[in-house]
Amino acid sequence: DADVTQTPRNRITKTGKRIMLECSQTKGHDRMYWYRQDPGLGLRLIYYSFDVKDINKGEISDGYSVSRQAQAKFSLSLESAIPNQTALYFCATGAPRAQFFGPGTRLTVL
Amino acid sequence: AQSVSQHNHHVILSEAASLELGCNYSYGGTVNLFWYVQYPGQHLQLLLKYFSGDPLVKGIKGFEAEFIKSKFSFNLRKPSVQWSDTAEYFCAVLRNSGYALNFGKGTSLLVTP
């Protein structure tokens, strides 16, 4: 959905590097989410935010941190990337009953 | 334990064959149910959803799903698949008190000409 954008779309990095994935939305939603997708595992929730001051851990938050800079922006950081964080990362916005997904960021950690 | 189970991980069908993908969940109480599709290289798109009412719901592109409460199931069906239905399909559940969707592991569908 063009209303939810993610940058970069692809990234290759090395073990130990810090990396930030960014998500922006123009839909005016308060709620934003970060998921990771791994083959055969579906999507798993990393972090979610109900508004700028309300940020919560999801089921697999270890090794990740987030920042909600504004209603429209929600960034995911890997403080020290490791190979098992290689995955496809999706940002989503909106209430769970009507969620919109971004195009994804494919991250490879060597 | 996986709370949303998709029984088929990989399905291969010929065009015009009928499709049924299974989805079961283990939550009690009221749930909202979803099927999402991810075409190759694209993001997730909503196929259909069930909140309440008629347990047979129709979605886009000729897909439908039936909610069977007694079986905790929400199976996806399509009478006649097309090559363009090749994609990965995800079942998702939102519990009444939930804050986010819970996804199944996905089913990869390949439709051969």
Tens-place pLDDT, residues B42-82 = 889 999 999 999 999 999 999 999 999 999 999 999 999 99
Task: Please list, in sequence order, all residues whose beta carbon lies within 8 angstroms of the beta carbon of residue B85, skipping any fewer than 6 positions away.
Answer: B19, B61, B78, B109, B111
- Alpha carbon A76 to its chain's center: 5
**Under 8 Å between Cβ of A35 and B90:** no
Is residue B2 over pLDDT 60?
A: no
Whether residue B101 and residue A96 make contact (CB cut-off 8 A), yes or no, is: yes
Whether residue B44 and residue A97 make contact (CB cut-off 8 A), yes or no, is: no
Nearest Cα neighbor of B86 from B5, B17, B23 is B17
Query: Residue holding tokens 């990362």?
Result: A89
Contacts with B106 from chain A: Cβ below 8 Å: 40, 42
Q: What percent of chain A clears pLDDT 90, i.e. is strictly above it?
A: 88
Per-residue tokens: B24: 């079961």
Nearest beta carbon to residue B100 from set A33, A42, A90: A33
Report the pLDDT value the prediction gives residue A2, as an integer from 0 to 100: 65
Banded model confidence at residue B39, pLDDT cuts 50, 70, 90: very high
Banded model confidence at residue B102, pLDDT cuts 50, 70, 90: very high
Report the pLDDT value the prediction gives residue A45, as an integer from 0 to 100: 95
- Alpha carbon B74 to its chain's center: 7
Banded model confidence at residue A40, pLDDT cuts 50, 70, 90: confident
Lowest pLDDT segment from A76-85, A94-103, B30-39: A94-103
Pick from B39, B52, B101 the residue to mutate for testing the A interface (most A CBs within 10 Å). Answer: B101
Total residues found in chain B within this entry = 113
